[in-house]
Each structure stands twice: as C-alpha cells, then as structure tokens.
Amino acid sequence: MFEGFRLERVRLSNATLRVRVGGSGPAVLLLHGHPRTHVTWHKVADILAKDHTVVCPDLRGFGQSSIPEDTFDHSGSSKRAKAQDCIELMHYLRLDRFALVGHDRGSYTAFRLAMDHPAAVTHLMILDGVPILEALERCDARFAAAWWHWFFFAQPDKPERAIGAGPEQWYGVSPAEMGQEAYADFLEAIRNPDVVHGMIEDYRAGLSIDHVHDAEDRQLGRRIQCPTAVLWSLKDDLEALYGDVLQVWRPWAGSTLTGKGLPSGHHMPEEIPDMLAFEINAFLAPDRAANSR
C-alpha cells in the first residue's frame, strides 16, 4: 500500500496526526470517514499520486492520531477543530493551497474546512454527505430508521460498550472487501477502546456544536467559495432520503456546483477506487497547472 509514500506523525497545536504523503504536483488532501482510517484511500491515493501531492491523515480521534480530551460541548471533536488540524498539517507540509476530498464523516470536516478557510481550498469534493444542519432539519421517520446510529452514538457510554462487546461483529467488514493490510489497520483501530470513544465523540459533536456552526454560517450568508462537486453512492441511501442531493447543496455552494451518483456501496474509496480516482482527476484537471506546488 501507498508505494512511494512516507509515513509521519505530525505534532500540531492541539493534536498529533498520523499522515501519509506521496506523489508530486498540485496538493490534494483526502479525509476518511467512520470507522475507517486514512488507509481506506490507499488504492485511490496510489492513482492520484501520479499527478498530485497526496496527503492522507487519520483525523483526530481516529486511527492512530491523538484522541481529544472530553469537554461538555464536545468541541475537541468538532469539525471546526479538525479543520484547524488540517490547515496546520498542510502548512507544516508547505502546501498552503490544496484540493480537498472528504468521505462520510470526513466530508463534514472537509465542508467546515472550506467554509472556515476559503483561501486555502482550491476545490472541494464531497462524497456521500450533506451538511449536518441540513440532515437534522430534514430528519423524519425514514431518516431516524435508516440513520438511527446518529442518535444512539449521541448517548453517553452505551455506544462504546456496545461496540466494545464485539467490534468485528458491530462493523461487519471482511478482509476480502478491504485487503489484508487495510483490514489489519482497521482492526487495530476498532479494537482500541480509546479510538472507539474518539470516533463516537465525532457524532456527539455533530449533534451538539457542529450544526450550530452551520447555522451561524447560514445566518451570515457564508457559502463555499471554490468549485464544488458532490458524489453519492447509488447503492446507499442518500438519494432515497433527499431525492435531488445537489438541491440540498445549492444554498451552500456557488454556481460551479456539480455532482452525480456512482454505482457503488457506501465505501467508494474501497469499492470503486479506479472510478473514484478518475472522477477526482477530472474535477481537478482544468486548473492543474495553476495550482501547482
């Protein structure tokens, strides 16, 4: 995995991140979802590295990055805090302008990063996500039945105990789906009670502080400033819940918003890496020369 990439642990002001960096050319930052680590990107990263400097961190609270301290408002696990980590990481790497791709929970950090630090982000691609505020405002019985885990994970203590009783059974992933090396990294994460707690805190932040930040942006009329693309899995439930997914994003993005569904289940970086890498390259290609390192 990650042929030619280097593996680092980077100490930032409020977190230490495990990160892989490889390739050369315009920078692209890839943010994973739950319950994955940065290793979920390994097939996509190898393709993108032919034309890009690719950066893949474990988000704080996930994988082998540091676990934030608990606070009453879960601010240490907020997407704003994680976005700040990413800005500091890219500054450390001397990649102060970069494209950004976020999947699942990583899409919320990517969205927050683009909103809070517009000068740094050249392109934003969202995979299988809508803004947390939009999801909560549209919440109905269908959403509650399909995404019940959002509300279960918001409860104190019980989610960690349930997952800890059988992590492999809870998440139900096989090495055949992920590859042996990626699966081993995944198992190490989900078997660590501290990491499980860090991952669950990401959801608690979503229902306590993250949607407040979204609401503040809406009230102030803030929007994403860079070209934005949204891709969703046709074998998952985003279309079933929202119909026109792009319609949900239009109030938040500019006129350059594009997107479509892809023939995949939820974990696109693992299930359709070649197709996903093609879509990322196609999205970034027009401005490749202008955004070189």
pLDDT of 289 higher than 50: no
SS (H, E, C) 201-249: HHHHHHHHHHHHHHHHHHHHCCCCCCCEEEEEECCCCHHHHHCCHHHHH
Can you name the CATH fold of 6-287? Rossmann fold (3.40.50)
Q: DSSP 3-state assignment of 24?
A: coil
Mean pLDDT, to the nearest integer, of 158-182? Answer: 91
The 3 state secondary structure assigned to 27-52 is: EEEEECCCCCCHHHHHHHHHHHCCCC
Q: Is residue 267 among the annotated active site residues? A: no
Marked catalytic residue, from 46, 104, 128, 236? 104
Nearest Cα to Cα of residue 92 among 159, 157, 172, 9: 9
Using one digit for the tens of pLDDT, what is the confidence trace for 66-121? 999 999 999 999 999 999 999 999 999 999 999 999 999 999 999 999 999 999 99
Range with the lowest mean pLDDT among 104-113, 117-126, 280-289?
280-289
Question: β-pairing, 98-103 with 121-127?
Answer: parallel
pTM: 0.95
Out of 117, 237, 266, 287, the active site residue is 266
Residue 293 has pLDDT above 80, yes or no: no
- Output the pLDDT for position 286: 61
Grouping H, G, I as helix, E, B as strand and the rest as coil, residue 23 is strand
pLDDT at 174: 80
Q: How many CB atoms lie under 10 A from the CB of residue 263? A: 11
d(CA 248, CA 132): 11
* Helix 180-190 / helix 193-205 crossing angle, nearest 10 deg: 80
Sheet of strand 258-262: strand arrangement:
6-11, 16-23, 53-57, 27-31, 98-103, 121-127, 228-233, 258-262
User: Which two three-digit tokens encode residue 109?
Assistant: 């950090």
Per-residue pLDDT band at 288 (split at 50, 70, 90)? very low
**Cβ–Cβ under 8 Å, residues 22 and 55:** no
Say what the pLDDT of residue 292 is.
38
Q: What is the pLDDT of residues 200-252, one digit of tens each?
A: 999 999 999 999 999 999 999 999 999 999 999 999 999 999 999 999 999 99
Domain ranges across the chain: 6-287
Task: Tell me the two tokens of residue 13.
Answer: 């002001």
Six token digits for residue 75? 């601010």
Whether residue 266 lies in the annotated active site: yes
Is the Cβ–Cβ distance between 241 and 143 less than 8 Å? Answer: yes
